[in-house]
Amino acid sequence: MLRSLKKILVLLLATASLAACSLPGLSSSGNQDGISIASLGTTEAEIMGYINMYMIQHYTNLPVDHITNLGSSSMNHAAFMTGDANLASVRYTGTSLTGELGLPAVTDPDKAYQLVVAGFEEEFDQTWYPSYGFANSYAFMIRRQDAEEKGISKVSDLAPYADQVKVGVDNSWIHRDGDGYANFVETYGFDFPNLYPMTIGLVYTAVASGEVDVVLGYSTDGRIIAEDLVVLEDDRQLFPPYDASPVVTNQVREAHPEIDAIMAKLAGEISNEEMQRLNYTSDNYLLEPATVAREWLLRKNFFEDKAPYLEPVRKELAN
């Protein structure tokens, strides 16, 4: 009962926040005759939103809106519940499991996926599609030179160096329940005497400049490429899985069953490394997420099929 009340309160707060914001592309009625894609306020989510939009435009003649900069998963979910959106460009298993569903975190990726699929179907009448292939989770990382010289490829390999290295971590991670520092020590059996909390955006430059030796960042961040870092395998599964998938309302699936086939084309197509490259391309070269999405789709030959109503889309993609 308490969990249900908590979920209701979170949804009400998110809905109130959504109603108070004047977000571009967000109307009170949504796209009643087509697809309204909702994206979180990240480069990654926007790239995936445009990938979805161009795919749907290519394979159907449905009108498509793209609502960007929905800052949190709860706002994204609220847009679904109010009818302002009906397809989420990306949701993460770990976030939605403990957030929208209010369930305990789990470390097994398959179990987490099964729980969100069943939970979103039962509670929200929504379909959680198979993963794109990448997961944006917490990850320890080090400079490539150090990884190669010391033969470090997984987190447990850090044990012999634990009292020597300086470790930069996200401020909020220190006291997190379930997968925070105390859980790290319990899971891996060693601690870091030289631990330096900082904002997540600083960890990448801190390790690249040599101020610290190991950092905790996000596994698909484009700065991993920019700073030539190696992501270490979480070999004892401390962190919950954050596998990325699109989510759609069953109302849309029933009205437009071709959506299933379109989303299936993207399943398993983007690895962590590929998502890092896409994020890096957008952030490092200041390219719009829409441009990065178009170029990726063209490079991967997703526009080979022909249809008479596609010429406007083809002309836009050619520009």
| pLDDT recorded at residue 190 | 98
Clarify whether residues 150 and 268 are in a common domain.
no
Number of helices and strands (H, E) in the chain? Answer: 14, 10
Task: Decide: 246 and 90 in contact? Cβ < 8 Å.
Answer: yes
Clarify whether residues 120 and 142 are in a common domain.
no
Q: How far is CA 120 from CA 8, 79, 124, 126, 188, in A?
A: 15, 15, 5, 5, 33
For residue 73, the tally of other CB atoms under 10 A from its CB is 20
Q: How far apart are CA 67 and CA 238, in angstroms?
A: 34
SS3 (DSSP) at 90: strand
Clarify whether residues 144 and 210 are in a common domain.
yes
Domain of 188, in residue numbers = 138-231
Clarify whether residues 72 and 42 are in a common domain.
yes
Among 18, 127, 4, smallest CA distance to 75 is for 18
| pLDDT recorded at residue 22 | 36
Q: Which amino acid is at 127?
A: T
Q: What is the pTM of this model?
A: 0.83
Clarify whether residues 111 and 202 are in a common domain.
no
Per-position pLDDT tens, the chain of length 319: 444 444 443 444 444 444 434 344 444 345 567 999 999 989 999 999 999 999 999 999 999 999 998 877 888 999 999 999 999 999 999 999 989 999 998 999 999 999 999 999 999 999 999 999 999 999 999 999 999 999 999 999 999 999 999 999 988 899 888 899 999 999 999 999 999 999 988 999 999 999 999 999 999 999 999 999 999 999 999 999 999 999 999 999 999 999 999 999 999 999 999 999 999 999 999 999 999 999 999 999 998 765 544 455 555 555 6
Q: Which amino acid is at 86?
A: N
**Domain containing residue 178: CATH number:** 3.40.190.120
**What is the token pair recorded at 67?**
């609502």
Clarify whether residues 246 and 123 are in a common domain.
yes
Clarify whether residues 218 and 168 are in a common domain.
yes
Q: How far apart are CA 40 and CA 247, in angstroms?
A: 13
Q: How far apart are CA 37 and CA 66, in angstroms?
A: 5
| pLDDT recorded at residue 25 | 42
Task: Decide: 38 and 24 in contact? Cβ < 8 Å.
Answer: no
Name the domain count of the chain.
2
Clarify whether residues 259 and 125 are in a common domain.
yes
For residue 242, the tally of other CB atoms under 10 A from its CB is 22
Q: How far apart are CA 286 and CA 281, in angstroms?
A: 8
**Domain containing residue 60: CATH number:** 3.40.190.10
Residue 6 in any domain: the answer is no
Clarify whether residues 146 and 291 are in a common domain.
no
Beta-bridge partner residues of 249: 126
DSSP characters over 198-231: E-GGGHHHHHHTTS-SEEEEETT-THHHHTTEEE
Residue 21 in any domain: the answer is no
Clarify whether residues 128 and 246 are in a common domain.
yes
SS3 (DSSP) at 271: coil
